[in-house]
Chains A and B, each alone.
Chain A
Amino acid sequence: MLHDLRLPKINPNMSSAVVECAYAAPGTLLKVGDRLFDLSVDLSSGFSQYCPPISYFRVVVREKLWLRKTLVAPGDNCDVGAMLALFSTEQDEPIEASPARAIRITTAGIAHHQGLWSASVQ
């Protein structure tokens, strides 16, 4: 069975997020608690202002799945609802079919860290 991960509306005021870290490689069997992505959400939508309201979040998988395809890379700006990755319950399952449902995730606010994509470009 196929599952997908689309950019969730973590904050009701957000319209997009930047992928800051992509932790898992396609072909990896993910277990509960494995990291998928770190994201940054800028509520000013990138408008340069007084103090940008940027928050950082980590997306962690809550079920055992194979990561089959990652559609984004660090630095990509994604709209809410954009597909970030595709998963399957079986390792060699064809991935052309429509996903049955979204994967189960945990989202947590995290501190800024030096591994973030934006830390390397500042």
Chain B
Amino acid sequence: MTSLPLSLGPLAAEGFIVRRSGLHWLCEDGHWCRPNEVIGYCNLSLEKLSGQRSGNFPMADELEFQVAFAPSIGGRLHIAGGYSPGGYLNAFGLHVWNADDVVGHLDPIADAEAGAGRLRLLLLAGRRMSGLADVDYGLLPGWHSRSRAWWGDQAGPQSTLLCIGICDAAGIVRGNEIPFVEAFEACPDPVQLVYVPDHPVVPCAPILLEQLNRTPAQRQAMAADLTSGLANSRTPATADDWLFAGALLSSLERSPMLESYDVLTPTGLRRMGPPDAVLLSLSAEMQSVLRHKKLGYSLQMLRHRQASAGPAVRAWLSSAFEPVKRSIDDIRRDYRRLIEALATKTGARVLILNRMSTSGYEDILSYAPFDAPMRETLEHVAAKEMNLMLHDLAEECDFSIVDVDAIAAVLGGTEHLPDGIHHSGAMQTVLRSEIIQALNSQGSARRIAG
């Protein structure tokens, strides 16, 4: 069988030179590759062509910009020498991107079609939470307020899925190994995946809705209030306070559901509009939120996130906010408003991961010992009521339920969902597949899988 030369393939940006760093390999020479397995990557940069007028620079706020590459077919890899000088030369964009660069060879497992030696390119971009959060090694290293990836095939992605859930959604989309790589190895579709973390704000429906509608004046008032809260705190603000406050403002000031994206493709740079689909997590809908006493905005954070705030932020949270309980009907109303607002503003479809609602770790023979209302005491009663609420809501508005509950029951919750929120790799794979299926299907609210 003939050894296939592995070439980088084209990337283009009108008015710019695409440059790359030296290559980083994620596997050894002689590695047996799976089709679409990411085997290496390099950093990318765009340089304005001489004679071009200065102006807006595409992706200027995404200081991490990389391309990973994968063979389209399986086979044994032979890495070519001369492409990895190491050191800072593997970080800086010293080389002009050349589609014909042959970076290795592949002994294919089966007969290969013409063109099979061209590597598939997975573009990755990360917007740092702070310009200070630079880590110059690895794929999408550092701390990002938004990260995204797309296959650079042909004209590039045709749609965007934005993930703004908590851990259960993050693991499915961003993965737990190398960012996005697990998802894209399984997903051949021309889709862009975008991940916005819960640092430090929990993306629950009322907060997302307020982000959608927030005015510049409201943002300024929130920033001024937080600044004043820290500056006038009886407890001197520490470095942890200011870092936390910066991340908090960054999160509250933006609506990831309204953002657009530049995508680099083999045929040029393209601008994509706001996400076509948004993945949310029912687990993010807590039974209470914090409401700012003066400005009226909502806030919620996971406990382990709050623990990373300094004393002045914690004091500010205690004094400036009050907890507001949310009934099931409140949560249903918040979801409905969010789904309707999104439909009006961007037309994005909403997918919601429901909750695991049973546990093999309990042996309740009678509910008499537990205080009513049960949903406020027993975790799995709460999960069942929330799941039922989603089904009722699906009668009222258009969205899709990704049935984590049913999938966990089929796979086995003890093995694949031991704490009810963090999925195993196998379960993430099934859920990814369900989500891709949902994105590709048409129609209105429905339950997926189960």
Contact = CB atoms under 8 A, between A and B. Distances in A.
Interface string A70-114: 000000000000000000000000000000000000111111100
Contact of A108 (B167, B302, B370, B419): B370
A46 B382 CA distance: 26
B307 A122 contact: yes
B299 interface: no
SS class of chain B's interface: helix, strand, loop or mixed? loop
A30 to B, nearest CB: 11
A13 interface: yes
Interface stretch (B57-65, B262-270, B356-364): B356-364
Interface stretch (B67-75, B230-238, B373-381): B373-381
B359 A109 contact: yes
Interface residues of A, number: 28
Nearest to B415: A12
Given A11-B361, A106-B369, A110-B378, A55 B420 contact: yes
A118 B362 CA distance: 22
A42 B364 CA distance: 22
A122 B306 contact: yes
Contacts of A54: 419
B368 A51 contact: no
SS class of chain A's interface: helix, strand, loop or mixed? loop
Given A12-B414, A43-B418, A62 B365 contact: yes
A11 B107 CA distance: 47
A7 interface: no
A108 B376 CA distance: 13
Contact of A112 (B303, B307, B359): B303
B430 to A, nearest CB: 20
Contacts, number: 74
Interface in A19-50: 32-35, 43, 50
Contacts of A35: 369
Interface residues of B, number: 30
B102 interface: no
A34 B366 CA distance: 12
Contacts of B370: 58, 60, 108
Nearest to A112: B303
A53 B414 contact: no
A57 interface: yes
Given A53-B421, A122-B303, A122-B307, A109 B378 contact: yes
Pick the most buried of A43, A58, A108: most chain B CB atoms within 10 A of its CB: A108
B303 to A, nearest CB: 6
B365 A53 contact: no
B379 A110 contact: yes
Contacts of A11: 361, 414, 418-419
Contacts of B304: 51-52
Contact of B376 (A43, A106, A111): A111
Interface in B337-375: 359, 361-366, 368-370
B95 interface: no
B223 to A, nearest CB: 26
A111 B418 contact: no
A109 B379 contact: yes
A83 to B, nearest CB: 20
Contacts of A50: 167
A109 B380 contact: yes
Interface string B296-310: 000000111011000
Given A35-B369, A43-B418, A111 B303 contact: no
Contact of B422 (A34, A51, A62): A51
B250 interface: no
B377 A111 contact: yes
Closest 10 CB pairs of A and B: A33-B369, A53-B419, A109-B379, A60-B369, A51-B167, A108-B362, A10-B361, A55-B419, A109-B359, A108-B364
22 contacts: A10-B361, A12-B418, A43-B419, A51-B166, A53-B421, A55-B419, A55-B420, A57-B361, A58-B370, A58-B377, A62-B365, A106-B364, A107-B361, A108-B378, A109-B359, A109-B361, A109-B379, A109-B420, A111-B287, A111-B376, A112-B303, A122-B303
